[in-house]
Structures are given as structure tokens and as C-alpha cells.
Structure 1
Amino acid sequence: MRASTVVAALAAAGPLTVVAQNPHALGAQLGFALGTKLPSGACKYTNDYEKDFDAISAQTGSKIVRGYSASDCNFAQQILPAAQNRGFQVILGIWPDEPSSFDADNSAVQQYANQYASAVYAVTVGSETLYRGNFTGAELLQKINTVKSGLPSHIKVGTADSWNKYADGTADALVTGGVDILLINAFAYWQGETVDQATGSHNVYFDDMSQAISHVQQLAGSTTSIEIWNGETGWPTTGGTPYGPAQANTSWAAEYYAKSVCGMLAWGVNVFYFEAFDESWKPASVGDNGQPEDEKHWGAMDDQRNLKPGFSLKCNYLDW
């Protein structure tokens, strides 16, 4: 079932069971967010990304990943040859919040996306920049159009932002301005939900995505003119920081993946899981509550590319 047909169904969807298979076999695409650094904090090179791709492909059959900054650790330069070698595609990211980062990322995109055009699926300009209030929709659209003007016509260009910025109209200028692709981020975890609330009959993740997709498609007057993905979703595993009732542990993360992520895929919505591998080099961040929050333990696999105990990346389906 295509994403364009599922808005009404998402809110009513529930978990499903049986028949393990690779997620990509269901029609929707599963991808993974991918970091730029090794556990030591050193930058990855092409052979490191090839190993990443081999691990992802072996566990899921997935052939697409996304990054956030094309110039960080020479991401575009290093990952695109690996993607071409392994039959993967990449969504490259541009960080537009500062002129220096925009210029560096856009320069990397223009150089390497043209050189490795078959390995580039799309380009996102911004990652939750509307959520942070750094741009209006119209201002961000100008940045997107600047990037798009230098790329081959088959490479989609858009942005990634929080589900509520699509649902509340903040991103309307992008929808009416004709962007090619929108990534909608939705984390039940960051809404302080238990895993039961995040996977059950009143699934907040499905509700968030339904609100965002519905608004975008109604405003666009089309279910097909803009490609839509769930740009990020995930759950931290054991060792992470709890967020209210939302506990960071591997069993909850595995349940969330099996019921909600696989469920979203079953309903035809493309999903990027955050993230493929732990990033043990990352320092703690400070959250909105002023407390330190761990960012090391969001991977479905550990930093040695091993699947975590009790975590399956196969999806179990029979029927809804």
C-alpha cells in the first residue's frame, strides 16, 4: 500500500505478527541514519562505509541511508564511492543554519552528487531547522531552490523536520513551493511515552505521522506530487537516558521497532530508523530540561556493527 493511501488507516493501525522477512520486501523502503565517525571519534573512510553497508544489507536488505552534513568528515566524498560499490543510495544533508556550513555542505553536494549521481537519492536542506525557529518556510525554500539549481534533475531536494512543523502549517511554503521530498521526524520516545503507548492501539507515532501526512497532502492537493518519508524514528537502548516514562532499554527499543516501525512500513510509509549503529564517541548533550542526555545508544547495532541481543531487524507480518 502506498503512503498516499494510508492517512486514514494510520490512526487505527495496530501491531501485527508472524512470518519474518526483510522489511524492504513489503513495498515501502527502510533506510537508516548513519554517522560519520568511528568509535574512536576518527572520521570514517570509504572502506568503513562499505563495512556499514554490508552490515545493514545483511540484517535488513535495505539499500538506502541518510546523513546530515555532506562536508562533515568529508561525508559525501567518502560515502558515495562506497554506495556506488555496494549498490546503495544516500540522502545527503546540508546544514543551512550558518552561512559557513551551508556553503561547505552545498559545495560538497554540488561536486560529489554530480560525480556520483546514481548513488544520490536526494538532498535534504536542513534538519529540524523550522523546529528550532532558524528559518521561516519561505526562507528555507530559497535555500532549497539554490541547492536544486545546481543538481541533476533526477535528484530530489527537500528538507527534514519535526512532524508538528508540517501539521501546524509552519512548513506550508515548502509544500506550495514545489519541493520534491519531505522527511517527517516522529519520536514517541521524545513525547515521554511508554512503549505500550508507543506501540498500542492509540499509537502516538502513527497519530503524529498521520497528522503531518494529511496536512501536506491536503495542501498540495495531491497524494503523489511530494515524496514523503518518516525521516527519523527510533528508541534508545540500554545505557541511554530515560525521558520521563519513556525508558531507554533494548527490549523496549526492539518492541518499538517490531510493532511501530515495521507497522509503518506495512502501511506503505517509507521509514528511516535512527540509527544503524551506536555512536560511542558522542558526548552527552543537554536537553530542554537542563539535564545531560546520552546520545551513544540509539543504534539497532552496536558500534562494532553487531546486532544487539534480542533485537531483530526482520519484520513479522500476517495482516492488520
Structure 2
Amino acid sequence: MIVDRKKTAKDILGNPYYLAISYGGYREKSRDIQPTIQQLKDDMKILSAMGIKILRTYNVQLQQVPNLLIAISQLNAENPSFEMYVMLGAWIDCHNAWSGHTPNHEIESEHNAGEIDRAVALAKQYPEIVKILAVGNEAMVHWATNYFVRPKVILKWVNHLQTLKKNGELPEDLWVTSSDDFSSWGGGDPIYHTEDLIKLINTVDYVSMHTYPMHNSHYNPAFWLVPDNEWNFSNKQKIESGMQRALEFAAKQYEGVSNFVKSLGVDKPVHIGETGWATTSNGPYGADGSKAADEYKSGKYYRLIREWSNKEKVSCFYFEAFDEQWKDAANPLGSENHFGLINLKGEAKYAIWNLVDEGNFKGLTRDGIPITKTFKGQREDLLLEALLPPLA
């Protein structure tokens, strides 16, 4: 089958056939060691075998994304039936972000313009692959204290990209958004309900919102605690019920954003730009904290959010494809290192054991290692490590 590569964001977003995921291919403890094009191609084959057809990336400051686009274009040339599209992110910062100096959230970084220029150049070069441009990642939410900017900065760059589309310098069917926390899009605290946010919602092609019940198991735990009427449930039932509440929590945050957008008289799609569940944590989500992070719960959440989003025709860029150890390099058991569906040993986590059983990864390897199951596929061992949510 020869793929029609003229599909647009409108065609693929919200289409259950086009599963989405967040992707970083870094294997080492530093991003100074970039994945090779061959490694990126191997990753793309693995993700394709999982049914993934849209990737989300986060910045064009490093060589990974340009090389990723080369890798996908090579796979397209080698196999006319291969299909993979990209939501390409441009990283946005405030002045003094990550510098050791006090961040100035009222002024944007002087590096933003170059980042946008690089993203535009790649979108022009690979129009059959890059279908979405995202200005910033969690760049407006106030808890991103190292780097957040005001909505007017995101609005400025979204307007810039929309003007390039109107002038024919970018494809007219390329969709432009920003990917941010549900609250930043008006789905929570009214402090975010600013005139600039309303202008931004009117300017983007769709809203890309994030929701993380796992993090909220620590920060807003009311939904997570086992209620009194479930005290006599078995441990497994308590976990299952907790995961159902986690799904409902995510759906409620999605609904909050969707309702705010509609309240403005705006009719635009809302998709999930990020959600996920870590399999390990030695911090606030682990055994000494909210007891949320383990592989059984992660697998349950993956399946529940996929079922819900497919049914609702909402794209869900699940976070994330593979474990990456650079994110908390000094703390190997930190949760940020363990959000992947496949670990650094090439083992598929519980969420996708079924794909191993079905033979989807037959003949595929990551760094020369065939894809096998964690826990050697022993469900009893997996369940032994599942943590019981705290009682209310």
C-alpha cells in the first residue's frame, strides 16, 4: 500500500487510527550524546509496530529533531507504506531562564526567535512529515518557575506563524498550537483567564492541553485516596478503582479546558498534548509518597486513557515512548527517567505486553536488543510490586 502523504493535521488529529506519542530518542545520561540516524530509524520501526503514527518533539536546539526528520524521510523512501508524522515543538523561554540569574517572566528570551526560525525551516523542508508546529512546552504555566512566559509571548509567535501561512511561506494546512498545562488553557484557576489567553485561543488552530493524574496524586490527592466505602475491597480492586478515578480526573481536566474554550464562543478541537504515568519513583509518587508510580498502574492508565481518547476522538500524545535517563541523571530512580513504554534494556513494559505476545516486534531491535517483556512476562511478579494507594 502506498501512503498518501498529503494528509493534514485535520485528517490525523482525533483519528483513532493515528495513535500519537511523545518521543525522545536519547539513551545516555547527557543529551550531548545524540542518537544516530540508524538508532532513530530503529525507534521509528518499533513505534510503527505499536500503531503510532504521530510523534511529538520538544525543541530544535539540538540535532535530534533534524536527524529524526531525515530518518523518517529515509524510511518513507525505503517503504512506501511507512507512515509517521511529526508535531514539531519549538522551545520558548523567558529572559534569564536556566541561567542562574532570576528569571524575568515579563520578557522573553533572546533565543526564542532563532528557535522559531529553525522550526519554520524544518516545516518548509519536510511538509510531508511536519503537520503541526507547537510554540512552547508548558511555557505559560506558573509552576514552570525556571522559564515560563506570559501568554502574549506565545501569542506573538503563533501570530507570526499564522502570517507565514497566509503569505504562502508555510503550508496553509499546517496547524499551529501551543502545548501547555490544562490550567494554562483556562481549565482551572481563573488567574489564567486573561485577555491574551483568549486572543491565543482564537489564534491557534487547536488547543493542546496536558493532564497528569499521577502528579496530582501528590499535589491534589483527594481523588487518589481510597474512600471509606472501599475499605473492604481487595488490594487489586483498590488499585483498579484508583486508576478509574485517575482516568476520571484526567477527563475532568480535559472537560474544563473544552468548556472554557466553548464559553468564549470558540469552536476548535482540544487534544491531549501530554499525559503519562511513571513506573518508578523514589520521590513523592513512590513507596514513601502517594504510592502511585509502579508498572501495573502505569499499564492500566495507558490502556484506560487510550480507550477513552479513542472513543472520544481526542488525540492523546502519551508521554512517552522510551525511558530517557538524562532527565534526572543524578537520580536514577527519579520518576522523570521512567515514563517510557519501553525501558533502556529494550523491554516492553506491562502497558504493551500484549504487543509482544501478538508478535508486533518480531525482527525489530533497539540498540541490537530484541524487544521482550519486563518481569519476564510474569504477571504475579508485576503485581507483587504494585503499591496500594493510601487510605482516605
Partner of 1:56: 47
Partner of 2:339: 298
Partner of 2:388: none
Q: Quote the Cα distance in structure 2 between the aligned partners of 1:201 and 1:116.
A: 38
Partner of 1:109: 119
Q: Quote the Cα distance in structure 1 between the aligned partners of 2:25 and 2:257.
A: 29
Q: Unaligned regions of 5+ residues in structure 1, if any? A: 1-23, 287-291, 315-320
- Superposition RMSD on alpha carbons, in Å? 2.8
2:183 equivalent among 153, 164, 186: 164
Which protein has the larger Cα radius of gyration, Structure 1 or Structure 2? 2
1:95 equivalent among 91, 94, 106: 91
For the residue of structure 2 that corresponds to 1:184, the secondary structure is strand
**Amino acid in the other structure paired with 1:175:** I
Aligned residues: 280
**Amino acid in the other structure paired with 2:335:** D
Q: Unaligned regions of 5+ residues in structure 2, if any? A: 1-12, 76-81, 95-108, 225-238, 356-392
State the TM-score, normalized to the length of structure 1: 0.78
Per-residue displacement from partner, 1:73-95 (whole Å, max 9, x unpaired)? x2331111222324211111111
Residue pair 2:271, 2:315 contacting (<8 A) in 1 also: yes
**Amino acid in the other structure paired with 1:249:** D
1:125 and 2:140 aligned: no
1:154 equivalent among 161, 167, 173: 173
Q: Quote the Cα distance in structure 1 between the aligned partners of 2:296 and 2:170.
A: 43
Q: Quote the Cα distance in structure 1 between the aligned partners of 2:304 and 2:342.
A: 18
Worse-superposed segment, 185-194 or 248-257: 185-194
Q: Quote the Cα distance in structure 2 between the aligned partners of 1:110 and 1:25.
A: 24
Q: Quote the Cα distance in structure 1 between the aligned partners of 2:52 and 2:351.
A: 20
Residue pair 1:241, 1:247 contacting (<8 A) in 2 also: no
Residue pair 1:128, 1:161 contacting (<8 A) in 2 also: yes
Partner of 1:37: 26
How far 1:40 sits from its partner (Å)?
A: 5.3
How far 1:209 sits from its partner (Å)?
A: 0.7
Q: Quote the Cα distance in structure 2 between the aligned partners of 1:297 and 1:201.
A: 19
1:231 and 2:220 aligned: no
Residue pair 2:91, 2:115 contacting (<8 A) in 1 also: yes
1:186 equivalent among 208, 211, 214: 211
2:156 equivalent among 142, 145, 150: 142
Residue pair 1:69, 1:92 contacting (<8 A) in 2 also: yes
Q: Quote the Cα distance in structure 2 between the aligned partners of 1:181 and 1:26.
A: 15
Q: Quote the Cα distance in structure 2 between the aligned partners of 1:38 and 1:151.
A: 33
**Amino acid in the other structure paired with 2:21:** F
Q: Quote the Cα distance in structure 2 between the aligned partners of 1:68 and 1:102.
A: 13
Residue pair 2:180, 2:208 contacting (<8 A) in 1 also: yes
Residue pair 1:198, 1:205 contacting (<8 A) in 2 also: no
For the residue of structure 2 that corresponds to 1:174, the secondary structure is helix
1:83 equivalent among 68, 72, 79: 72
**CA 147–38 in structure 1, closer or farther in 2 if over 3 Å, else same:** farther
Worse-superposed segment, 33-42 or 296-305: 33-42
Worse-superposed segment, 273-282 or 42-51: 42-51
1:256 equivalent among 294, 301, 306: 301
Per-residue displacement from partner, 1:52-84 (whole Å, max 9, x unpaired)? 11111112x111110110222x23311112223
How far 1:265 sits from its partner (Å)?
A: 2.1
Partner of 1:6: none
**CA 70–284 in structure 1, closer or farther in 2 if over 3 Å, else same:** same
Per-residue displacement from partner, 1:237-273 (whole Å, max 9, x unpaired)? 1356443424210001011112233222222211010
**CA 28–162 in structure 1, closer or farther in 2 if over 3 Å, else same:** farther
**Amino acid in the other structure paired with 2:39:** D
Q: Quote the Cα distance in structure 2 between the aligned partners of 1:252 and 1:83.
A: 32
**Amino acid in the other structure paired with 1:116:** Y
Q: Quote the Cα distance in structure 2 between the aligned partners of 1:141 and 1:92.
A: 17
Q: Quote the Cα distance in structure 2 between the aligned partners of 1:219 and 1:63.
A: 32
**CA 216–198 in structure 1, closer or farther in 2 if over 3 Å, else same:** farther
Q: Quote the Cα distance in structure 2 between the aligned partners of 1:154 and 1:143.
A: 17
Q: Quote the Cα distance in structure 1 between the aligned partners of 2:112 and 2:280.
A: 35
For the residue of structure 2 that corresponds to 1:161, the secondary structure is strand
State the TM-score, normalized to the length of structure 2: 0.64
